[in-house]
Structure 1
Amino acid sequence: MNQNQHPAHPIARRWFLQQCGVGVGAIALQQMLQESGYAAPAKTGEIEDPLAPRQPHHPPKAKNIIFLFMGGGPSHLELFDNKPVLGKFDGKLPPEELLKGYRAAFINPNSKFLGPKFKFAKHGKCGAELSEILPHLSEVVDDLAIVKSMKTDAFNHAPAQIQALTGSQLFGKPSLGAWTIYGLGSESKNLPGFVVFSSGNKGPSGGSSCWGSGFLPTVHQGVMFRGGQEPVLYLKNPPGVSEQLQRDSLDTLKALNQNHLEQVGDPEIATRINSFEMAYRMQSSAPDVMDITQETKQTLEMYGAEPGKSSFANNCLLARRLVERGVRCIQLFHESWDQHGGLVGGLKNNCKATDQASAALIKDLKQRGMLKDTLVVWGGEFGRTPMVQGGNDGRDHHPNAFTMWLAGGGIKGGTTIGRSDDFGFNVIEDEVPVYDLHATILHLLGLNPERLSFRFQGLDQRLIGVNPAKIVKKILA
């Protein structure tokens, strides 16, 4: 039959076989679930909210996550992993066996050892060692679980950042935040479920892939917020467009999109509907949440936040305000940690910009009773080499061993796990690959990392890939 004879109702054999059989099964399944109480009765004319809260796989320890991502690769040797033996070998060549098969980004095999540049001291009841350039973090060390045995597969920024946040070095995979929203939905009706901030010299080397949705419906991707009076671009109505005209236009678009959605079932249409409605609600909610002048003077001083400016400190405070309003996942990028040279000055500046605010976030969440439900993660894509680069004051990228810390929901505070060798070169105890960290984060959020999957290109894709779900139990409360 010529389909052009009935342009209003084009029915092809492939469409019929693809849609109708599945459609009948879906109708039957939906009816069975409704009758048994596992699904809410369908409401005529109502579109299912793709970001509606969903039940986790098991009782969660954390309901929200704030990821403080230090782009560039913070030096574990100057911040968390004290190596006095490395200081004794300062200026000497590494043993040949240490570098056998090793690949670095820039340095050559003749690079000599560089001893640590800052002093370390023990802090808190747990006695964890921290660098002298982290004075504020030392005040909350008993709330932290410090992992000194992180390891990744990539030694250049973009692939390592993408792996740290999507589980793969390849572009096109969903980010940790997108998987979280896909699994749990959002408890915020007036704000996105996944919000992203950026500070430092530039955005992340991995670009928007670090908060993208990959093959998941795009409703799950992160939304970039900016500082200032306009947190989201193009949110304000153009001149001459009244609120009533806008509402009437949105209602018409919603009806058209809903009709199209019912015909073809494309989830991207639901994303479009959600985006229009969310943008409408955000016109009032986004400026309100971004107005940190509502905070007390004491709170602003604790973070080092300054209203009207764009900074990591402001972003940490905003992260707390977003969690209060039900936003599920917040990522804060601070891209300034790539010290191939100028190591001492660069690290001092980085810690001055981030240390106080990171510690204040822990204190603030704790005093408000929110830390028990909020998981905070701090770290970058890799560490730095124990060998020198850039004259006598720099370090290259290093994937074999680096440090991250976690705090809050389900984390055992005052814990330090993992160990690297005397040079901070290789992990020798409790190795934690990136995918094990991801599995642990999902577990704390109530999601089974092996069950959380999405069918794409004939495979059940997962954040942890084909790796077994190994939870880092030593850091769990």
Structure 2
Amino acid sequence: MEKEILEEGLNHNRRKFLSRLSLGVGSLALGSLLVPDLFSGKAEAEEAMMKALPHFAPKAKRVIYLFQNGAPSQLESFDYKPLLNKRMGEELPESIRGTQRLTGMTAGQSSFPLVGSHYKFDQYGESRAWISEVFPHTAGIVDDICIVKSMHTDAINHDPALTFFQTGAQVGNRPSMGSWLSYGLGSENSNLPAFSVLLSRGRGNGQGVYSKLWSNGFLDATHQGVQFSNSEDPVLYLKDPESMSRSERRKMIDQIAEMNNLSMQQFNDPEISAKVKQYEMAYRMQTAVPEMTDISKEPESIIKLYGPDCLVPGTYAANCLLARKLSESGVRFVQLYHQGWDQHGNLPNEMRLQAEDVDQASAALITDLKQRGLLDETLVIWGGEFGRTNYCQGKILVDNYGRDHHPRAFSIWMAGGGVKSGMVYGETDEFGYNITENPVHVHDFQATVLHLMGIDHERMTYKHLGRRYRLTDVSGKVVKDLIA
């Protein structure tokens, strides 16, 4: 009770806070002991409430999330189902499909013909994991990753499903996972943001990504993801205006900060403090970011490892290399979005091209981190927002079929950061439609990521409009079988 009242008073000045307290001097004494700046009117007082983080010793220090936007088919990547090839064109049994939700794109189909993978599969590593022929580089690192074949989600369309993975809710205006980690743990490098965002586009059918996915939501604006672009200016508006020297820029920022601090004393609006912090961060980034995005000093062996595309700004390979550099420099959460995985048609051709875009660089990132001694403390995640149906969307053309959205069962992989390696977790039925072993919900996945970072997902909350919010909403459990 006392803790709730203390937290409620954080955004009020001393007079307002005291006028609202009803539990007496004991609560005041407790508050001053727990949070020395509680009655100072500082926005930082709320941050002080988070000093208990991490809740326990973390397995990972940083996260690199390689999000494959558009939903890559698990049936052409990591969930081998030979029965689908044997029963090609046959109707999906109603006992398997049941009354499960369908999208508007296939709900009107009169039949649901099974379609097997166009690609060959083989087994790799000590785990003997089945991996498609279009991911040969991933097959080469299979003993370093953990493939989860039993993911499932609540959403069936791209935007809500993507938003659900990133924020824990299908609607907008919630903090993203990166923002939550920035809020709870901060950055390891004061010259770089705690949360960075990188975008790339593949050769397949794309789905859009929007800034709400890296929004701070109702958290302090300093926790919003900083997007890096492939333009001459990696972070927009970071350079000094023409004819302005660094010393003049410093004076300008100091004067703006003085005016903002006066406003803060008058209005006690935490967003004012956030603006001051953002100005300061931008000033420090002016030196750090150009050095970070310069890959000219990378040895030839690294360029060869990631492939020639890593020399082309804005490509997936270039962003994977940049993600390593950012993470190595202390950025807490690097979010990479790669668009182009929405194969409702022409899947055999499009998915092969998409895989070519990402396979080598994804595997290179794991190898690079490992050889630098960073993989054990860096959690790498690869996957999309849902999976793909085992039946064909429309009529089957052997070399040109498509698959619809399938939230019931799909695959991702994780590596490093305290995750068991060389492991396949979970299983689906022989049709690849329903989960038969060890289901992992999106909230379970999020709870596990936070756990690996030393955070109890039920304890890291934020009170907003009278309700306490958390990344995992009101559910989620840590999947301890995945943790080394």
- Scaled by the length of structure 2, the TM-score of the pair is 0.89
Q: How does 1:312-461 map to 2 (within 5 A)?
A: 312-391=316-395, 392=397, 393-461=401-469
Contact kept, 8 Å, 1:49 with 1:274, in 2: the verdict is: no
Residue 161 in 1 paired to residue 162 in 2?
yes
How far apart are residue 265 of structure 1 and its match? 2.8
Greater mean deviation of Cα atoms: 60-69 or 246-255 = 246-255
Alignment-derived partner of residue 251 in structure 1: 254
Alignment-derived partner of residue 482 in structure 2: 475
Describe the shift of the 1:459–1:31 C-alpha distance in structure 2 as closer, same or farther (beyond 3 A).
closer
Greater mean deviation of Cα atoms: 94-103 or 408-417 = 94-103
Matches of 2:206 and 2:247 in 1, distance apart? Answer: 37
SS in 1 for 2:141: helix
Q: How does 1:237-276 map to 2 (within 5 A)?
A: 237-276=240-279
SS in 2 for 1:362: helix
Matches of 1:109 and 1:401 in 2, distance apart? Answer: 23
Matches of 1:333 and 1:25 in 2, distance apart? Answer: 50
How far apart are residue 260 of structure 1 and its match? 2.2
CA deviations on 1:31-63 (whole Å, 9 max, x unpaired) are 4248xxxx79999x9978969987301100001
CA deviations on 1:59-83 (whole Å, 9 max, x unpaired) are 0000100000000010000000000
Q: Which runs of 5+ in 2 are unaligned?
A: 1-11
How far apart are residue 309 of structure 1 and its match? 2.8
Alignment-derived partner of residue 9 in structure 1: none
Q: How does 1:32-431 map to 2 (within 5 A)?
A: 32-33=33-34, 55-105=53-103, 106-107=105-106, 108-201=109-202, 205-304=208-307, 305-391=309-395, 392=397, 393-431=401-439
Contact kept, 8 Å, 1:293 with 1:307, in 2: the verdict is: no
How far apart are residue 163 of structure 1 and its match? 0.4
CA deviations on 1:166-187 (whole Å, 9 max, x unpaired) are 1111111111111111111111
Matches of 1:284 and 1:42 in 2, distance apart? Answer: 36
Matches of 1:250 and 1:407 in 2, distance apart? Answer: 41
How far apart are residue 457 of structure 1 and its match? 1.9
How far apart are residue 96 of structure 1 and its match? 2.1
Quick one: percent identity of the two aligned structures? 44
Describe the shift of the 1:42–1:357 C-alpha distance in structure 2 as closer, same or farther (beyond 3 A).
farther
Describe the shift of the 1:251–1:358 C-alpha distance in structure 2 as closer, same or farther (beyond 3 A).
same
CA deviations on 1:433-457 (whole Å, 9 max, x unpaired) are 1000000000000000000100012
Describe the shift of the 1:109–1:465 C-alpha distance in structure 2 as closer, same or farther (beyond 3 A).
farther
SS in 2 for 1:130: strand
How far apart are residue 325 of structure 1 and its match? 1.1
Letter paired with 2:294: D
CA deviations on 1:274-326 (whole Å, 9 max, x unpaired) are 11111111111111100111111110110114334321001011011001111
Describe the shift of the 1:93–1:366 C-alpha distance in structure 2 as closer, same or farther (beyond 3 A).
same
Describe the shift of the 1:203–1:130 C-alpha distance in structure 2 as closer, same or farther (beyond 3 A).
closer
How far apart are residue 15 of structure 1 and its match? 8.2
Describe the shift of the 1:95–1:454 C-alpha distance in structure 2 as closer, same or farther (beyond 3 A).
same
Matches of 1:174 and 1:15 in 2, distance apart? Answer: 26
Shift >4 Å, 4+ stretches:
14-17, 22-31, 39-43, 45-54, 201-204
Greater mean deviation of Cα atoms: 213-222 or 359-368 = 213-222
CA deviations on 1:350-385 (whole Å, 9 max, x unpaired) are 111100000000000011010111000110000111
Matches of 1:141 and 1:25 in 2, distance apart? Answer: 58
Matches of 1:49 and 1:230 in 2, distance apart? Answer: 34
Contact kept, 8 Å, 2:206 with 2:342, in 1: the verdict is: no
CA deviations on 1:411-460 (whole Å, 9 max, x unpaired) are 01011111111111111111101000000000000000000100012111
How far apart are residue 219 of structure 1 and its match? 1.2
Q: Name the Cα RMSD after superposition.
A: 2.7
Contact kept, 8 Å, 1:186 with 1:193, in 2: the verdict is: yes
Describe the shift of the 1:238–1:50 C-alpha distance in structure 2 as closer, same or farther (beyond 3 A).
farther
Describe the shift of the 1:15–1:272 C-alpha distance in structure 2 as closer, same or farther (beyond 3 A).
closer
Alignment-derived partner of residue 3 in structure 2: none
Matches of 2:311 and 2:29 in 1, distance apart? Answer: 55
Describe the shift of the 1:231–1:291 C-alpha distance in structure 2 as closer, same or farther (beyond 3 A).
same
How far apart are residue 242 of structure 1 and its match? 2.2
Matches of 2:51 and 2:188 in 1, distance apart? Answer: 6
Contact kept, 8 Å, 1:47 with 1:258, in 2: the verdict is: no
- Count residues in correspondence: 459
Letter paired with 2:170: Q
Matches of 2:337 and 2:206 in 1, distance apart? Answer: 7
Greater mean deviation of Cα atoms: 48-57 or 403-412 = 48-57
Matches of 1:205 and 1:360 in 2, distance apart? Answer: 26
How far apart are residue 102 of structure 1 and its match? 2.3
Matches of 1:360 and 1:72 in 2, distance apart? Answer: 22
Contact kept, 8 Å, 1:228 with 1:308, in 2: the verdict is: no
How far apart are residue 233 of structure 1 and its match? 0.9
Describe the shift of the 1:94–1:127 C-alpha distance in structure 2 as closer, same or farther (beyond 3 A).
same
Greater mean deviation of Cα atoms: 293-302 or 198-207 = 198-207
Contact kept, 8 Å, 1:157 with 1:381, in 2: the verdict is: yes
